Amino acid sequence: MTAAVHDDPLRRYPDYDFTRPAQLGREHRRRLEAAFEAFARQWASQLTGKVRMRTHLTLEGVELMSYQEYADTLPSTTAMVTGATAGREEPGVVQFDLGVALTWVVQMLGGRSTAPIEPRTLTPIESALIRQLMDRTFELLTTSLGMLLPSPLTYAGLHDNPQYLQVISPGEAVIVARFAMRMGEARSTATVMLPAAVVVDQLAESERDAAAAHRAGATVDQLLGAPLEVSLRIAPRVIAAGEVLNLAPGDLLRFAHPETKPFDLIVGDTPIARAVPGAQGSRLACTITTILEETTR
């Protein structure tokens, strides 16, 4: 369903397709891309070490789409490894070519794969080897995403038909990261799918925490950087208005402040310390003798 737009030449609003979820914000996309790029590097290192075949993985992009749109982009037969998170029904998915999975098995068993292997259903032994490999892969994915996941992803199952694997409602929004995979001379594509609700909730939560920390820090910084005028004051004396009007140069005005008593250091009208006057070079200065807050604790 698409919202109708009147044929008004002055209207510049684009049609909104209610069947597609909203797009990722720029900051959210940057955070996800950084996390998935870190995962690509670690996954490539893991595969190179375990499979004994140099592997390169490059992030091609991160998209927000419906699960059905994601499933439609996959081959009819492919490896889809589901990963569960505690307290959530919707799993994540790591997907890769079945022929690639069979190549991994051959390499892990000590063989050498010199030509692409035709995709087929994995045997129980082959599935067990892939599971061992994917247990570590989900650990790497959890580490790379960090706070973007509510809890660690753990292996939940291995499937080979995306059309039959209805792990999420077809119209539900998912986040999909696509990777270009190169193993020796062979090239293929791998994807990671995560339920958008899980990741977006964590993104929003981390933003609230960061905003709260920023506000608190900014308030403290602003307070500590606020300029204040300070002055030294002797004990005041009360005189009549007439005496003030009759003051002239050379008059001597006596105060009741003893010579040995420190002056008050004033901020505004509030005494904060006591100090004795002095000098530093050609400038007047004062030496703090007492902090008044300490005397009242």
Q: Residues 119-147: what's their mean pLDDT?
A: 92
Name the burial class of residue 227, with classes exposed (0-12), middle (13-18) and buried (19+) by CB atoms within 10 angstroms of its CB. Answer: exposed
pLDDT confidence bin for 256, thresholds 50/70/90: confident
Regarding whether 277 and 174 lie in a shared domain, the answer is no
Q: Per the domain annotation, does 37 fall within a domain?
A: yes
Tell whether 188 is covered by a domain: yes
39 exposure class (CB count in 10 Å sphere: 0-12, 13-18, 19+): buried
**159 within domain boundaries:** yes
Q: Is residue 120 part of a domain?
A: yes
Spatial CA neighbour of 267 closest among 210, 296, 236, 229: 229
pLDDT at residue 83 above 70? yes
- In the β-sheet with 283-291, what is the strand arrangement from edge to edge? 230-233, 263-267, 270-280, 283-291
Clarify whether residues 267 and 124 are in a common domain: no
> Would you say 92 and 156 are in contact if contact means Cβ atoms under 8 Å apart?
no
Q: Is residue 246 part of a domain?
A: no
Q: Which of 206, 92, 187 is nearest to 139 (CA)?
A: 92
Judgement on whether residues 100 and 193 belong to the same structural domain of the protein: yes
234 token code pair:
């002797």
Residue 96 lies in a domain: yes
pLDDT at 147: 84
User: Is residue 288 domain-shared with residue 147, that is, in the same domain?
Assistant: no
Give the tens place of pLDDT for each residue, 18-50: 544 456 778 888 889 999 999 999 999 999 999
Q: What is the mean pLDDT of residues 43-64?
A: 93
**What is the percent of the chain with per-residue pLDDT over 90, rounded to a whole number?**
34
pLDDT higher than 80, residue 284 = yes
In a domain? residue 250 = no
pLDDT at site 223: 73
Q: 153: domain CATH number?
A: 3.40.1550.10
Looking from the CA of 292 toward its CB, the CA atoms found within 13 Å total 12
Q: Which two tokens stand for residue 235?
A: 């004990």
- Are 138 and 278 contained in the same domain? no
Please give the residue range of the domain that contains residue 180: 15-208
The tokens 């003030």 sit on which residue? 244
Counted residue by residue, the chain has a size of 297
Q: Which residues pair with 174 in a beta bridge?
A: 65, 195
Higher per-residue pLDDT: 16 or 121 = 121
The distance in angstroms from the start CA to the end CA of the chain is: 69
Mean of per-residue pLDDT scores for the chain: 82
Same domain, 64 and 200: yes
Indicate whether 117 belongs to any domain.
Answer: yes
DSSP structure class, residue 148: G
pLDDT at 207: 55
> Do 29 and 164 fall within a single domain?
yes
* pTM to 2 decimal places: 0.63
pLDDT-based confidence at residue 9 (cuts at 50, 70, 90): low
> What's the number of domains the chain is made of?
2
Whether residue 170 sits in one domain with residue 262:
no
Residues 164 and 77 both lie in one domain: yes
